[in-house]
Amino acid sequence: MRYISYWVLPIISGLMWLATLLGLLLYWIVDTHRVRYASMNGNQTIAYISDVGASELKPLFVTGCIITTIFLDLSFGSDRYLRHKGRLVPNTTTAEKVLSGLTIVFAIIGTIGLTFLSGFDTLRYPRLHDIFLLLFIAGYLLSAIFICAEYQHLSRKNRQHRILRLSFWIKVIFVAVELILAIAFIATNFKGYYNSAAILEWIIAFIFSFYIFSFYIDLYPAIKTRHSPLSTNPARRMEETYYATHPSVLPQQRDTQDSQRTLTDGHGHHGHGNNAQHKNRTDQRDF
């Protein structure tokens, strides 16, 4: 149980989303032999996710969407909570806290979109379904953009925590790919290329699962800080950064060197005062 922590939340969310998608896709291909649903357009032969989700598997679609969003939102909330408690690299500036807040707000908007689009299916409520689909895509894309900005701020000041930079690049790639695919999906759907749009929708949905799994990277380090939170003191964090970027200097050695230098300077005569001050300034600048 010592390794069970907040990181399980995105894993549960991602697995639930994958299971829902695979259940819908395999049911349509294997069980129904690619049946043509009543909600499909004129020349459409490839079903949208929502076409399959509006059929006999609607309970699976609704349940999967709700469980996915619950655990994903818990992942967002846990990230904010752990940074506030110092279990993860903390948000120390107003900008970082605002970006974190906007991330959660737009994630909630995406949650509303995904939850309601599964209930208001494309067969019975086509207009409402499209509105909630837009909320889902826009909400989580904007949320991802804000969390990328937050992680960029954090990684600049905490270069010793390389996992922030890794997570940042994973999410940036997700935003870029999903944005391109979303534009292509809207364009093909608008022009009536429904089969192409359906394929793009399935791809977008499967890629979204990898975005969910990326929060495992963010939350896993909290295991190591269960009993020793990270310092929120700027001076202490500067010291941690120094030791992380100067591996040849151990904290104990540094303390010993500082103590010896203090004793030496204390016993020196006044003629060496300027040299001592110059050395102190040099140490501070190097630090």
pLDDT of 47 over the 60 cut: yes
Average pLDDT of span 1-30: 91
pLDDT of residue 60: 95
CA gap 64, 126 in Å, rounded: 20
pLDDT value of residue 3:
67
Contact between 117 and 133 under an 8 Å Cβ cutoff? The reply is yes
pLDDT at 76 (0 to 100): 94
Q: What is the pLDDT of residues 211-256, one digit of tens each?
A: 999 999 999 988 887 666 554 444 444 444 434 444 454 545 445 4
CA-to-CA separations, 69 to 35, 76, 111, 181, 208, in angstroms, rounded: 29, 10, 6, 21, 12
What pLDDT does 163 receive?
A: 85
Query: Does 283 have pLDDT greater than 70?
Result: no
Amino acid at 257: Q
Q: Cα–Cα distance between 120 and 12 in angstroms, integer? A: 25
Q: Dump pLDDT digits (tens) for 170-212.
A: 999 999 999 999 999 999 999 999 999 999 999 999 999 999 9
Burial class (CB in 10 A: 0-12, 13-18, 19+), 8: middle
Mean pLDDT (the chain, rounded): 82
Q: To which residue do tokens 């509006």 refer?
A: 54
Query: 72-122 pLDDT, tens per residue?
Result: 999 999 999 999 888 888 888 999 999 999 999 999 999 999 999 999 999
With b meaning 16 or more CB within 10 Å and e meaning fewer, what string describes 256-275? eeeeeeeeeeeeeeeeeeee
Share of the chain above pLDDT 90, in %: 63
Q: Would you state the pLDDT for residue 224?
A: 81
Q: Which amino acid is at 229?
A: P
Rounded to whole angstroms, the Cα distance separating 6 from 12 reads 11
Exposed e or buried b for every residue in 28-63, given b needs 16+ CB within 10 A? Answer: beeeeeeeebebbeeebebbbbbbbbbbebbebbbe
> For 46-51, what is the mean pLDDT?
95
Q: Which of 81, 66, 79 is nearest to 143 (CA)?
A: 79
Identify the residue with better confidence: 140 or 157. 140
Percent of the chain at pLDDT above 70? Answer: 77
Q: How far, rounded to the nearest angstrom, does the alpha carbon of residue 219 sit from its chain's CA centroid?
A: 10
Question: Is the model's pLDDT at 38 over the cut of 60?
Answer: yes
Mark out the alpha helices in 90-161 (DSSP H runs). Answer: 94-119, 126-157
Confidence bin at 280 (pLDDT 50/70/90):
very low
Q: Worst-scoring range by mean pLDDT, 10-19, 55-64, 171-180, 251-260?
A: 251-260
Neighbouring residues of 53: CB distance < 8 A, sequence distance ≥ 6 = 24, 60, 61, 62, 118, 121, 122
- pTM comes to 0.76
